[in-house]
Amino acid sequence: VNDKGRYMISVAAELVGMHPQTLRIYEQKGLVRPTRTAGNTRLYSDADLERLRLIQQLTTELGLNLAGVEMVLRLEDQLSRMQRRLERVEREMNERLRQVEREYKRELVLWEDPTLPVRTRR
């Protein structure tokens, strides 16, 4: 699937199996934000289609209404951002830990091996 894909509403509706009117309503409620051509025609990206399929799953399979969909989308976004933040923090902390250990070992080696260049003592 081409990442630059832009489909107008009839094609997009066909691709995700929805009514074109439904897509307009979703946009009106702020659930999807397709771009527009100069002639004001909606253009849906592949990301938009993916979002539409997610909304479809929430409404038809799980039975949420649109207010619920909006809130769930916000919460899931928040959740994934926190997930990434957690991973980042773990990575950075491990990094700093290794950094300190490396320095520590280097200092000890310097004191034990007199053939190495002398560093200033603290």
Partner DNA sequence: AGCACGTTCACGTGGCGTGAGGGTCC
Partner DNA sequence: AGGACCCTCACGCCACGTGAACGTGC
Which residues are at the interface with DNA (CB under 7 A)? 8-11, 18-22, 24-26, 37-42, 59, 63, 65-67
- Pick the binder of its own copies from 25, 37, 90, 116 (CB under 8 A): 90
d(CA 63, CA 14): 22
d(CA 52, CA 113): 66
Q: Is residue 116 part of the contact set for its own copies (CB under 8 A)?
A: no
- Contact between 46 and 2 under an 8 Å Cβ cutoff? The reply is yes
Among residues 26 and 45, whose Cβ is nearest to DNA? 26
Size of the site for its own copies (CB under 8 A): 34
Residues 37-66 interacting with its own copies (rule: CB under 8 A): 58, 62-65
Q: What are phi and psi of 64, to 5 degrees?
A: -75, 150
User: Could you tell me the two tokens for 16?
Assistant: 């995700």
CB-neighbour burial class of residue 23 (10 A; exposed 0-12, middle 13-18, buried 19+):
buried
Binding site for its own copies (CB under 8 A): 58, 62-65, 67-69, 71-72, 75-76, 78-79, 82-83, 85-86, 89-90, 93-94, 96-97, 100-101, 103-104, 107-108, 111-112, 121-122
